[in-house]
């Protein structure tokens, strides 16, 4: 048994790094999803509170890359808020984990979905078994693969090799179905499992795993990934803030004054024992 003395946690270990920053200082690495952002704008406008802050990582002294929250950032811009409340994290720490979402497509006919993909210029689509498609994507030999309702897999590829070129093709691919069908995120490539949540699902599109450096370069260089691909798991994420939106408006306070007020608000919440940390994964039913 180890006799090592465990150090007391610091305030930064306990309290998330919440800041109010200029909305324009946030840089997305992916496109926002209109199917999600449009209703989100109305919910925020009606609620009058800032619920879940976007999670960001510093890019330089003045800019932050949005790891999660592109739709909330778009909503803040659309509503005209000059400042936005965010959670800042260290992208290189163990508290941030990068995974990948898949797209499950509904409300479009499967043959229309496949036909639209075939119309992309220089796009190569080949039928294969699911195991081979998984292996090809793991080796980055293909851009993505899709699984249709008959459980047959199709690899999707193009003769491009740069991050910019591959991302452009992926955006074109997602554009073929995000406006015609319904796009949801899922973490399985099994159609039968997907249909437990989305009974009308006709296809799943599976994307490659990205490295954090690719996410940062995509943001820095304006190479936006399609919406809903990167999945950042944040250990110690701040949620359900219910912070007043009025604090993010042009209300006569400087940015420093707004952050001082935010700090006092956090201290008060902690003193009133209104902040609770959940170490275990949770399901939220009121998103």
Residue 91 and residue 25 share a domain: yes
Residue 187 and residue 123 share a domain: yes
Asked if the structure places residue 263 within a domain, the reply is: yes
Stretch 18-43: mean pLDDT:
95
CATH code of the domain containing 56: 3.90.1530.10
Residue 196 belongs to domain spanning:
102-206
Asked if the structure places residue 123 within a domain, the reply is: yes
Residue 16 and residue 85 share a domain: yes
pTM, full prediction: 0.89
User: Which pLDDT score is estimated for 4?
Assistant: 43
What are the b/e assignments for 165-193, b being 16+ CB within 10 Å?
ebbebbbbbbebbbeebebbebeebebee
Residue 196 and residue 106 share a domain: yes
The total number of structural domains in the chain stands at: 2
Asked if the structure places residue 122 within a domain, the reply is: yes
CATH code of the domain containing 178: 3.30.1760
Report the chain's C-alpha Rg in angstroms. 21
Q: Tell me the pLDDT tens digit for each residue of 183-226.
A: 999 999 999 999 999 999 999 999 999 999 999 999 999 999 99
What is the number of other CB atoms lying within 10 angstroms of the CB of residue 105? 26
């Amino acid at each position: 048994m180890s006799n090592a003395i465990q150090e007391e946690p610091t305030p930064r270990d306990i309290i998330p790094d919440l800041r109010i920053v200029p909305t324009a200082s946030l840089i997305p690495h992916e496109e926002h999803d209109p199917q999600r952002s449009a209703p989100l704008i109305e919910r925020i406008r009606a609620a009058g509170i800032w619920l879940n802050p976007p999670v960001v990582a510093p890019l330089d002294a003045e800019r932050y890359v949005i790891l999660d929250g592109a739709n909330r950032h778009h909503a803040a811009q659309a509503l005209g808020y000059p400042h936005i409340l965010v959670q800042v994290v260290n992208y290189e720490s163990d508290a941030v984990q990068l995974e990948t979402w898949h797209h499950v497509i509904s409300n479009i006919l499967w043959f229309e979905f496949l036909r639209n993909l075939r119309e992309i210029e220089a796009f190569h689509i080949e039928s294969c078994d699911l195991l081979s498609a998984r292996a090809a994507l793991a080796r980055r030999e293909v851009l993505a693969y899709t699984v249709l309702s008959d459980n047959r897999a199709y690899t999707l590829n193009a003769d491009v090799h740069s991050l910019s070129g591959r991302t452009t093709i992926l955006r074109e691919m997602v554009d073929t179905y995000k406006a015609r069908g319904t796009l949801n995120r899922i973490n399985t490539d099994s159609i039968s499992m997907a249909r437990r949540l989305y009974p009308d699902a006709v296809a799943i599109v599976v994307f490659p795993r990205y490295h954090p450096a690719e996410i940062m370069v995509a943001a820095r260089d304006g190479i936006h990934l399609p919406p809903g691909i990167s999945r950042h798991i944040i250990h110690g994420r701040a949620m359900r803030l219910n912070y007043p939106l009025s604090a993010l408006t042009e209300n006569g306070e400087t940015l420093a004054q707004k952050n001082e007020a935010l700090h006092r608000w956090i201290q008060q919440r902690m003193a009133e024992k209104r902040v609770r940390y959940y170490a275990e994964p949770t399901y939220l039913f009121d998103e």
